[in-house]
Chains A and B, each alone.
Chain A
């Protein structure tokens, strides 16, 4: 009972330290909706934390506004120069007819509506519990383009070494330069986690490197897809046509997959993966099928494409200078039990390997009828010794004839 109680407490502590509250603040899911509260409330039922629609943005204007309100942000102690969180931006053309024409016209590409077709920036406003407000400058580090008018990435806001806490953040959307899109509005979404970056951290590399890695991966995926198509063409059309048809051995040699090998060597691959540095974030797909099918929340012709939320690797967090002390303690807390358990398991494995009564040893029949040493004979002698000892103990306890005759 005591052992299970300790395991429970240990698990509880693990969960507590796995998501340190001083870095990843939780965000209230309630959103202020300056324009259309009914539609925003309906969006929240589709998961994530969704911002509001912007007001109508006219092309001649140099800026538009859309807001995300984070409520009840618990700011960690000390100076935090930056705050970052994933963001999902949807740029909606309000002129549906023009959008449809552009979509169907090959000469008028999506570039006109591309989110980065014009230059866009973000800034924001933070408010303190005392009612004070400060302006902050935010920069978007895009990670991927899902469609011509949908962009996801990490938005990083400069807090200018703000030391006091704040209870909301409002992000504002600005456009710089002209765009052929005359009327549109902006829709923000996020996933609810906020990362505070202290002033002494290596700022400026985290999200950019992540975005670069994802871009590189996207290019690699495209290259693989092209090579895969080339392989398909080569194998199925050319090679098969020139080989002996319907032969039992016709497919031998053409097969390049090695699924069976991968399955059998999965434990080894797992060991290898444990020492591999994390470069790919976890991707959580977001589906908007229900939202698109709901005509009451979207205007006619509106469509939100499916997207993916990426949760980055935690190496940047664990490599921070102010986390090293905690990391040492954390390594003791997690690493010592793991290593102790593995050592116990290893000792059991070694004992099983050298145990003369182990079943694996019994499979080693030396066929040694003519040998001076026999494992079977040794084993039988061992059993006889145990039997003799037991008989002696029983005799001393129960008398010469044992307890059965009493």
Chain B
């Protein structure tokens, strides 16, 4: 259950970020193609590393419950500062833009 919720959140955020960044990325590929190539190399490298993660996890032998707890804690550790900062930013904008 937790895993499915996490996967759903991850998929939603990735699709949201993709929609936001697609015009920027297209601009980069059009104006600075070398930077686009560098990004593709970096992306391939990251994919190669992430692709090995399931194998490493399989070696560790942790149960799915343990991995779900670890993943949930990691997600909370990353998401709490993001959410807090987002709320503060929203409040700041509200104070600036309010009539």
Contact = CB atoms under 8 A, between A and B. Distances in A.
Interface of A: 18, 248, 251-253, 255, 257-282, 311, 313-315, 317-318, 327, 330-331, 334-335, 338-339, 342-343, 345-346, 349-350, 352-353, 360-361, 363-368
Given A282-B52, A318-B58, A353-B84, A274 B67 contact: yes
What is the interface of chain A mostly: helix, strand, loop, or mixed?
helix
Closest 4 CB pairs of A and B: A278-B58, A259-B43, A342-B73, A278-B54
A334 B95 CA distance: 48
B96 interface: yes
11 contacts: A251-B30, A257-B25, A259-B42, A269-B50, A270-B53, A281-B55, A317-B61, A331-B61, A331-B66, A349-B77, A349-B81
Given A275-B68, A280-B55, A367-B95, A264 B17 contact: yes
Contacts of A350: 80
A275 B73 contact: no
A251 B26 contact: yes
Interface of B: 3, 6-7, 10, 13-14, 17-18, 21-22, 24-26, 28-30, 36, 39-40, 42-43, 46-47, 50-55, 57-64, 66-71, 73-78, 80-81, 84-85, 88, 91-92, 95-96
Contacts of A272: 6-7, 10
Nearest to B23: A252
A260 B24 contact: yes
Contact of A331 (B26, B39, B51, B62): B62
Given A257-B29, A271-B75, 13 more contacts: A248-B30, A260-B28, A263-B46, A265-B14, A271-B6, A274-B67, A279-B54, A280-B51, A282-B55, A331-B66, A339-B66, A342-B77, A360-B85
Contacts of A271: 6, 10, 71, 74-75
Nearest to B7: A272
Contacts of A343: 73
Contacts of B55: 278, 280-282, 311, 313
Contact of B54 (A257, A276, A346, A349): A276
What is the interface of chain B mostly: helix, strand, loop, or mixed?
helix
Contacts of B74: 271, 274, 342
A106 to B, nearest CB: 36
Given A271-B10, A365-B92, A259 B25 contact: yes
Q: Give the most central of A18, A275, A311: most B CB within 10 Å.
A: A275
Nearest to A323: B61
A277 B56 CA distance: 11
Contacts of B80: 346, 349-350, 353
Contact of B30 (A252, A330, A366): A252
A274 B70 contact: yes
A273 to B, nearest CB: 4
Nearest to A319: B61
A363 B30 contact: no
B61 A318 contact: yes
Contacts of A353: 80-81, 84
B3 A327 contact: no
B40 A352 contact: no
Contacts of A278: 54-55, 57-58
A259 B36 contact: yes
A255 B61 CA distance: 41
